[in-house]
Amino acid sequence: MAYVHEDQTRFKTFSRRALLLAGGQTALMASLIGRMYYLQVVEGERYRTLAEDNRINIRLLAPPRGRIVDRFGTALADNQANFQVVVVPEQTSDLGRTLDDLSRIIEVSEEDRARILKEVRRRRPFVPVTVLDNLSWHDVSRLEVNAPALPGVAIEMGQTRRYPFGEPMTQILGYVAAVAEHELSGDPLLELPGFRIGKTGMERRFDDKLRGTAGTSQVEVNAVGRVIRELSRDEGKPGRELVLSVDAGLQNFVHQRLLGVRSASAVVMNVHSGEVLALSSAPSYDASAFNIGLSSRQWQELANDPLGPLNNKAIGGTYAPGSTFKMVVALAAMEAGVSPGHKVFCPGFMELGRSRFHCWKRHGHGWLGMHDGIKQSCDVYFYDIARRAGIDRISEMAVRLGLGEATGIELPGERAGVIPTRAWKQAVIGERWQGGETLVTAIGQGFVLTTPLQLAVMTARLANGGFAVRPTLVRGFRDAMAEGEEAPSSPEATAGHVAEVAASRFAPLGISEAHMKVVGDAMDAVSNHERGTAYRSRIEEEAWALAGKTGTSQVRRISLSERQSGVKKNEDLDWRYRDHGLFVAFAPVHRPRYCCAVVVEHGGSGSRSAAPIARDILIETQRRDPSASGLRPLAAAGGQVRGS
């Protein structure tokens, strides 16, 4: 019975230790009592005096949050006054009658009435009780007019954040919501009940500037807490106003256009200044729902939606660039010494070792040079020149053009994508680079991943003559204006566009002008030559014509058996296995000003899905350009009807 014996020693140990623990706890309890005695009896007198002094009550005043406006000064995020009507019971002669009078002006339901009477009974008579919330301006003015007849009735004003444009703007602006504990930073404002803080997008990125600094109001209160008078008041500093480079009208147009397909994103950017005029990811979501507070079910629905409304796909979605990568390969090859006149015969495939690499055109393109290689997007031509350039030169050119690293745009959640090199593969996958992988990279498949924004930056750098332009959404900050004051209509604010000279701010990429011209001419031909892959999506108005490049990015490799068992068309596949369609473009062809990148998720071929969207967007962009207003605006309508 060793166990029994041991159980006894164990119980002894336990009892001894339990008593020790109890002793320790008793000691700690005693220390609490000691502290209580010290605070309440020894120092009690001092604290009673301090409590008297506490009659000077300092209240924090929340500053108005800075507005966010677009390049023309249109409000994208502002503060809506939220008017509520309150009644102070002790100031009414007869509360019931006051409520009756009130209900003749605004609607006070029986339920409201019961609630008010109940609340009034519970509270001290000087505490205001809310009658109605979210009053319309109309009701407010009627109440103000009738104020003399309504003793004890007052109107109080709060503020809520408003996003007048709704969904199209959410991906850029983000939203505000209640402060979480880990966001507390010592700023007393954050501890104000009901205070809102930026959670994502611009609201979060520039929260510190938009927030402003707290004001204080010192009031004297009597022993029961009634405010006797205000002693001093410091209004604090309102948040600064953030001016974005975005054009709200264009953004709206782009978003509506993208909603025509299931899931897509697009970026419109000035090729010289890098100012982003529109950046849209569809479908999106409604930011004001977050302000009120989402139910857990609503949140789950948003988070699990396969179309990813919470993800800003223009910066957070990474896609194989497909043939839009061919400009990179062409420039790398030319730098490696391949002449633009270099001819390749395309029989429809290229063999390397025992593998066969196909061209998208089954029976081949025959003989072609670089110009036609880009124009017709011949895969075999790029297999050939990619082998001559080598993967490391291609990657180096890709990085110079802005791929493979975050662009640094002022939005949280941007992803870097991938531009593979030999060293990258060795480090990440732990294998040697294969020759065939260079071929796959040449047509923008395989390891390469880019965001739509990066593709727009690449296009801008091709269009602006080879300057390392960086994208930006921000034009600057300005101090908020007082109520009623109008925005100064400076030429800069209304013109909304920065002159071409701005490009000199950016360093040249060191790419030969002659090479750039080869690529630029070929992109011109893609959409303006009848054998180009995007000819159907050209802009007929010559002054607005675009130059572009299509791309189709494979989501799933079509297996050999599928290939042999008959043509497996992209349209026959389940939606989520279909190819992504891409298009990058700049316009006008001869004096480039804007570029646009469109990615249609699972949209099929780029020429069919993405190019028409990019065309419409670039027409709208140029139509809205104030400096182009002298041009024949009717042409826009013509261009839009065609080919859609």
Partner 1 sequence: MAVSRLTFERNPEISLADKIGQINWGLVFVITLIAAVGCAMLYSAAEGSIDPWASRQAVRFGAGLALMFAVALIDVRIWFRYAYGLYFGALLLLGAVEFVGTAGMGAQRWIDLKVIQLQPSEVMKVALVVALARFFHGQGDEELARPTTLVVPLALVTAPAALVLKQPDLGTAMMLLMAAGAVFFVAGARLWMFALAAVMAGAAVPIGWQFLRDYQRQRVLTFLDPESDPLGAGYHILQSKIALGSGGLSGKGFLAGTQSHLSFLPEKQTDFIFTMLAEEFGMIGGLVLLGLFFLLFVYGFAIALRSRNQFGRILAIGLTANLFLYVFINIAMVMGLIPVVGVPLPLISYGGTAMLAVMLAFGLVMSVWIHRDIRIPRRGLGDT
Write out the catalytic residue numbers: 323
Give the span between the Cα atoms of 535 and 529, in whole angstroms: 6
Nearer to partner 1, 189 or 409 (CB): 189
The CB-of-200 to partner 1 minimum distance in angstroms stands at 6
Nearer to partner 1, 304 or 490 (CB): 304
- When asked if residue 54 is in the footprint of partner 1 (CB under 8 A), the reply is yes
The phi, psi pair for 523, rounded to 5°, reads: -65, -35
Nearer to partner 1, 54 or 256 (CB): 54
Indicate which single residue of 290, 381, 382, 586 sits in contact with partner 1 (rule: CB under 8 A).
290
Indicate which single residue of 104, 144, 148, 182 sits in contact with partner 1 (rule: CB under 8 A).
182
Give the span between the Cα atoms of 276 and 227, in whole angstroms: 51
The residue assigned the tokens 């709208």 is 620
Positions in 298-357 near partner 1 (CB under 8 A): 299, 303, 310
Nearer to partner 1, 43 or 100 (CB): 43
- When asked if residue 15 is in the footprint of partner 1 (CB under 8 A), the reply is yes
The CB-of-35 to partner 1 minimum distance in angstroms stands at 5
- When asked if residue 47 is in the footprint of partner 1 (CB under 8 A), the reply is yes
* DSSP assignment of 411-454: STT----B---HHHHHHHT-SPPPHHHHHHHHTT-TT-BB-HHH
Choices 174-182, 238-246, 450-458, 616-624; region in contact with partner 1 by CB under 8 A = 174-182
Indicate which single residue of 164, 188, 408, 488 sits in contact with partner 1 (rule: CB under 8 A).
188
Q: Where are the beta strands (DSSP E) in 193-301?
A: 196-198, 215-221, 227-234, 241-244, 264-270, 276-282
Give the span between the Cα atoms of 436 and 386, in whole angstroms: 10
The CB-of-445 to partner 1 minimum distance in angstroms stands at 28
- When asked if residue 13 is in the footprint of partner 1 (CB under 8 A), the reply is yes
Nearer to partner 1, 177 or 462 (CB): 177
CB atoms within 10 A of CB 567: 9
Here the tokens at position 311 are 């993800």
Helices (H) and strands (E) in the chain, counts: 24, 20
The CB-of-246 to partner 1 minimum distance in angstroms stands at 21
Indicate which single residue of 65, 196, 199, 211 sits in contact with partner 1 (rule: CB under 8 A).
199
> Which residues contact residue 329 at a Cβ distance below 8 angstroms, ignoring those fewer than 6 apart?
382, 385, 386, 389, 394, 397, 442
Indicate which single residue of 1, 9, 104, 430 sits in contact with partner 1 (rule: CB under 8 A).
9
Indicate which single residue of 80, 134, 136, 185 sits in contact with partner 1 (rule: CB under 8 A).
185
Angle at the Cα of 269 (from 268 to 274), degrees rounded to 5? 160
Give the span between the Cα atoms of 554 and 605, in whole angstroms: 10
CA distances from 389 to 271, 335, 396 (A): 27, 8, 11
The CB-of-421 to partner 1 minimum distance in angstroms stands at 29
The CB-of-221 to partner 1 minimum distance in angstroms stands at 6
119 three-class SS: helix
Residue type, 306: P
- When asked if residue 43 is in the footprint of partner 1 (CB under 8 A), the reply is yes
The residue assigned the tokens 């992504």 is 580
Indicate which single residue of 1, 6, 479, 511 sits in contact with partner 1 (rule: CB under 8 A).
6
CA distances from 246 to 61, 170, 189, 279, 621 (A): 32, 13, 30, 8, 11
The CB-of-289 to partner 1 minimum distance in angstroms stands at 10
Nearer to partner 1, 131 or 176 (CB): 176
Positions in 364-423 near partner 1 (CB under 8 A): 413
Indicate which single residue of 57, 109, 213, 339 sits in contact with partner 1 (rule: CB under 8 A).
57
Here the tokens at position 420 are 């593979």
Give the span between the Cα atoms of 409 and 426, in whole angstroms: 30
The CB-of-119 to partner 1 minimum distance in angstroms stands at 8
Q: Cite the DSSP H helix spans in 336-409.
A: 370-375, 379-389, 391-400
> Which residues contact residue 435 at a Cβ distance below 8 angstroms, ignoring those fewer than 6 apart?
352, 353, 387
Positions in 110-139 near partner 1 (CB under 8 A): 122-124, 127
Indicate which single residue of 93, 104, 223, 482 sits in contact with partner 1 (rule: CB under 8 A).
223
> Which residues contact residue 354 at a Cβ distance below 8 angstroms, ignoring those fewer than 6 apart?
none
Nearer to partner 1, 12 or 632 (CB): 12
Binding mask 16-35 for partner 1 (x = CB under 8 A): -xx-xxx--xx-xx-xxx-x
Cβ atoms of residues 179 and 190 within 8 Å: yes
The CB-of-19 to partner 1 minimum distance in angstroms stands at 8
Nearer to partner 1, 186 or 566 (CB): 186
The phi, psi pair for 213, rounded to 5°, reads: -120, 150
The CB-of-242 to partner 1 minimum distance in angstroms stands at 19
Nearer to partner 1, 44 or 476 (CB): 44
- When asked if residue 200 is in the footprint of partner 1 (CB under 8 A), the reply is yes
**Bond into 588 cis (ω within 30):** yes
The site that binds partner 1 (CB under 8 A) totals a number of residues, namely: 67
617 three-class SS: helix
Give the span between the Cα atoms of 448 and 582, in whole angstroms: 14
Positions that interact with partner 1 (CB under 8 A):
3, 6-7, 9-11, 13-15, 17-18, 20-22, 25-26, 28-29, 31-33, 35-37, 39-41, 43-44, 46-48, 50-51, 54, 57-58, 122-124, 127, 177-178, 180-182, 184-186, 188, 191, 199-200, 204, 216, 221, 223-225, 290, 293-294, 296, 299, 303, 310, 413
